[in-house]
């Protein structure tokens, strides 16, 4: 009788015929054979495939399709020619209805794992493609032997794009239906830029954000730039009409300003707020508006609101139209941006800010007593310690936003165990065709 090691060795040496049974959390088709699990990209339930195993993955194996023998009923034509090579998207092969159900089910499953399977989850709200206002492109200088002739540079001196699925290999893209056209238009110029900035084989990242003043670019690289690299960046900013260029060396907490050609600002409820280099901003203005609408409707009657993990004030400024708002954020650069904007707009008396690491030092029950509503929008790890403190407080209304259903469900369980009632959950998708889904939920103190 073969043991599990023998079966695994056999699995990696042959081509298998599999029928995909389910869609996994990352968007891969999942199939089983001889007691082993296989994850197959660009596959969906009902597909019958011949696959080749490419390596170990988690509790099973990754596999690639050699031949599709039969198609499942929910396949759609991908919107991008780079799909299934570029790792930016995982689910362009799903038709709209199945895709929406898959993302909604991710939220339902996360809640069920915390014993909240009876919570009502609304239908998914999905943003449109072509509206993403920020992107981080990976870049790598082409090695010398990749040029056609020794010592001669080609027009494209660097690979620029996104990393391949489960790989550090860069897929040099020519299109991206997710992004604003102005961001995609910079890909070709960036190839030439990084060809001059980087040494052969060197890597870096370019974080691009569309703001009121144009496009803001932050370079992330191993070392700080030298004078020649700074000169190249200034020339590039002039040539491509960028608003600002900054550089952050790995390990340095603060970016270095290279050139500022125009103010870099975002508009929150008619107030222009300075955006720090690398500062948090929702991926799309449309997605931001969707989340804002949920929060504003829930807090229409609140008079004193705590905006926790406030970023640069995307919620604080709209909420200040009818309430006093205390914005708490871990980044001093972002709280400073809130203060400057509030001062310019005459809102210093309605918006206050505090720089505070809420994971290490959450607002405690006695500090929360002055607020009649709290909204929190933490990073992917969630807000466990803040949720613990809220569960011990008497705040009557809490609105939770999250980009991770798993950490949201954990925090929701804490609040419910502390006496809150969850009105319902709204999933929102502004990370189109990825495995990510955002959540908005309203909690009220039980009576």
Query: What does the pLDDT look like over 436-445, one tens digit per residue?
Result: 999 999 999 9
The pair of structure tokens assigned to 305 is: 């609101």
Active site residue 80: no
Taking all residues of the chain, what is their mean pLDDT, rounded to a whole number? 93
**What secondary structure does DSSP assign to 27-50, as a single string?**
S-EEEEETTEEEEETT--TT-EEE
Evaluate if residue 148 carries a pLDDT over 70: no
Question: d(Cα 394, Cα 11) in Å, to the nearest integer?
Answer: 57
Burial string for 370-396 (b: 16+ CB within 10 Å, else e) reads: ebbbbbbbbeeebbebbbbbbbebebe
Per the CB < 8 A criterion, the answer to whether 288 and 282 are in contact is: yes
Residue tagged active-site, from 80, 89, 312, 403 = 403
pLDDT one-digit tens code per residue, 257-314: 999 999 999 999 999 999 999 999 999 999 999 999 999 999 999 999 999 999 999 9
pLDDT one-digit tens code per residue, 310-324: 999 999 999 999 999
Res. 29 pLDDT band, cuts 50 70 90: very high
Res. 447 pLDDT band, cuts 50 70 90: low
From 252, 170, 262, 173, select the one nearest 216 (Cα to Cα). Answer: 262
Alpha helices, DSSP H only, in 114-204? 181-184, 187-197
Question: d(Cα 388, Cα 364) in Å, to the nearest integer?
Answer: 9
The pair of structure tokens assigned to 36 is: 């082993």
């Amino acid at each position: 009788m073969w043991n599990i090691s023998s079966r695994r060795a056999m699995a990696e040496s042959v081509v298998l015929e599999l029928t995909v049974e389910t869609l996994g959390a990352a968007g891969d088709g999942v199939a089983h054979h001889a007691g082993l699990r296989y994850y197959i990209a660009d596959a969906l339930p009902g597909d019958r495939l011949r696959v080749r195993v490419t390596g170990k993955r988690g509790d099973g194996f990754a596999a690639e399709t050699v031949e599709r023998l039969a198609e499942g009923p929910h396949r759609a034509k991908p919107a991008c020619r780079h799909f299934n090579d570029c790792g930016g998207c995982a689910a362009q092969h799903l038709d709209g209805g199945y895709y929406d159900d898959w993302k909604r089910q991710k939220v339902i499953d996360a809640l069920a794992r915390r014993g909240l399977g009876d919570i009502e989850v609304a239908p998914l709200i999905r943003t449109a493609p072509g509206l993403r206002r920020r992107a981080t492109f990976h870049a790598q200088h082409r090695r010398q032997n990749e040029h056609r002739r020794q010592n001669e540079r080609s027009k494209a001196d660097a690979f620029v794009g996104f990393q391949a699925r489960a790989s550090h290999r860069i897929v040099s893209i020519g299109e991206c239906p997710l992004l604003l056209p102005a961001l995609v238009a910079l890909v070709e110029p960036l190839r030439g830029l990084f060809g001059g900035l980087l040494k052969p084989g060197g890597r870096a990242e370019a974080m691009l954000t569309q703001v009121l003043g144009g496009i803001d670019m932050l370079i992330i690289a191993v070392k700080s730039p030298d004078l020649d690299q700074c000169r190249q960046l200034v020339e590039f900013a002039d040539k491509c009409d960028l608003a600002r260029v900054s550089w952050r060396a790995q390990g340095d907490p603060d970016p270095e300003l290279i050139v500022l050609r125009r103010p870099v600002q975002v508009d929150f409820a008619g107030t222009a707020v300075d955006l720090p280099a690398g500062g948090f901003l929702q991926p799309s203005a449309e997605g931001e508006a969707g989340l804002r609408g949920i929060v504003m409707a829930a807090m229409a009657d609140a008079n004193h609101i705590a905006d926790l993990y406030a970023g640069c004030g995307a919620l604080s400024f709209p909420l200040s139209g009818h309430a006093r708002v205390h914005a708490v954020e871990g980044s001093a650069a972002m709280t400073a941006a809130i203060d400057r904007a509030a001062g310019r707009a005459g809102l210093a008396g309605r918006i206050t800010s505090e720089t505070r690491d809420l994971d290490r030092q959450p607002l405690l029950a006695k500090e929360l007593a002055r607020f009649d509503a709290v909204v929190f929008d933490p990073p992917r790890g969630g807000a466990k310690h803040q949720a613990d403190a809220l569960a011990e407080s008497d705040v009557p209304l809490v609105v939770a936003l999250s980009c991770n259903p798993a950490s949201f469900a954990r925090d929701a369980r804490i609040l419910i165990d502390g006496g809150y009632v969850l009105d319902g959950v709204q999933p929102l998708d502004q990370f189109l065709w990825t495995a990510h889904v955002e959540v908005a939920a309203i909690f009220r103190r039980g009576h």
